Structure 1
Amino acid sequence: MPHQNPSNEKRRELLQEAKTIAVVGLSNKPDRTSYMVSQAMQNNGYRIIPVNPTIAGETVLGEKAVATLTEIDEPVDIVNVFRRSEEIMPVAQDVLQMKHKPRALWLQQGIANEEAAELAKQQGIEVIMDLCIKVDHALLGVGKK
């Protein structure tokens, strides 16, 4: 059965309750979509944790970047992913290895991977695919934190 995203109400609730978003593939270049979306979410009160091995140790949006999800020691509510669809399975596997299991794996607009979604769902993690978290935040009327 193909994946179905959670209802608008469930996504709104997730975004209202979330505090921390780990962003896989966050670029340190301000003209990149991952940077702009993450900055917008940060401006809405979320803490952003950059996850990108090529910039690990650097500061992006005022936060120190880590190489992998498994390096994060604190609770993360949402893992937001900016990677190609065919690169999602290793990300989903890393999500399952995190010290604190996130509530959701969010694949940005244009990104979908049924196998990875199934793996995460089996572990009780909500999966949102092919939706921009920033657009959803605005459309669902989620207030500032």
Structure 2
Amino acid sequence: MTILSDTKDIVRVLETNKAVAVIGYHADPVKPAHYVPEYLERQGYKVYGVNPALASRHASAFGHPVVATLAELSVPIDVVEVFRRSDKVRDHVEDILSMKPLPKVVWLQLGIRDDAVAAQLSDHGIEVIQDRCMLADHRQYL
């Protein structure tokens, strides 16, 4: 099982994976699901918002349309960053596993954890990071 928590693995993921799809992206700048992706975009990542409610209103994020599902993204994604409650993470497994190509990493933001989902994704060769903030880790290590 490939569930990452070691500092060197976190740094490797942050340094080598630059295309990030954000499940649960939010348009409100005071919400972590907005300011964390915005920070990543400013650091040189390509960030794509995934949120059905915003997609239906034709919203955009960082120069890209917000989409309802990962399947609607037309570019390869390195990291799927999840901003959903732990009990909602399993709702996205099918969408993640239908991606072509599969993402290299699924990153569950701070406070989000689902060991069964992590094991399932890991069984498909996807590295998983749980209960960590990409912004905080980027600031601390890079």
Q: For structure 2, which runs of at least 5 residues remain unmatched after alignment? A: none
Name the structure 1 match of 2:39. 40
Q: Read off the aligned partner of 1:128 and give its amino acid letter.
A: I
Q: What residue number does 2:28 align with?
A: 29
Identity of aligned residues (%): 34
Distance in structure 1 (CA, Å) of the matches to 2:39 and 2:87:
26
TM-score by length of 1: 0.91
Whole-Å Cα distance in 2 between the matches of residues 44 and 90 of structure 1? 30
Q: Which runs of 4+ in 1 moved over 3 A?
A: none
The SS at the match of 1:40 is helix
Runs of at least 5 residues in structure 1 that lack an aligned partner in the other structure: none
Cα pair 1:23 1:79 within 8 Å, conserved: yes
**Under a length normalisation based on structure 2, what TM-score does the superposition of the two structures give?**
0.93
1:4, CA displacement in angstroms?
A: 4.9
Q: Report the alpha carbon displacement of residue 100 of structure 1 after superposing the two structures with TM.
A: 1.6
Helix, strand or coil: the match of 2:128? strand
1:31-69 CA-to-partner distances (Å, cap 9, x unmatched) read 111100010000000010000000113112332100011
Q: What residue in structure 1 maps to residue 110 of structure 2?
A: 109
Mean CA deviation greater in 97-106 or 55-64: 55-64
Question: Is the CA contact (8 Å cut-off) linking 2:78 and 2:103 kept in structure 1?
Answer: yes
Partner of 2:132: 131
- Mapped to 2, the partners of 1:14 and 1:133 lie a distance apart of 10
Residue by residue, what CA displacement relative to the aligned partner does 1:59-91 show, whole Å, maximum 9, x if unpaired? Answer: 123321000111112110100000000000121
SS of aligned partner of 2:4: coil
Matched to 2:105, the amino acid is A
Query: CA separation in 1, counterparts of 2:138 and 2:128?
Result: 16
Residue pair 1:74, 1:100 contacting (<8 A) in 2 also:
no
Q: 8 Å contact 2:3–2:122 — kept in the other structure?
A: no
**RMSD over aligned Cα, in angstroms?**
1.5
Give 1:92 deviation, angstroms.
Answer: 2.2
Paired letter, 2:128: V
The match for 2:11 is: 12
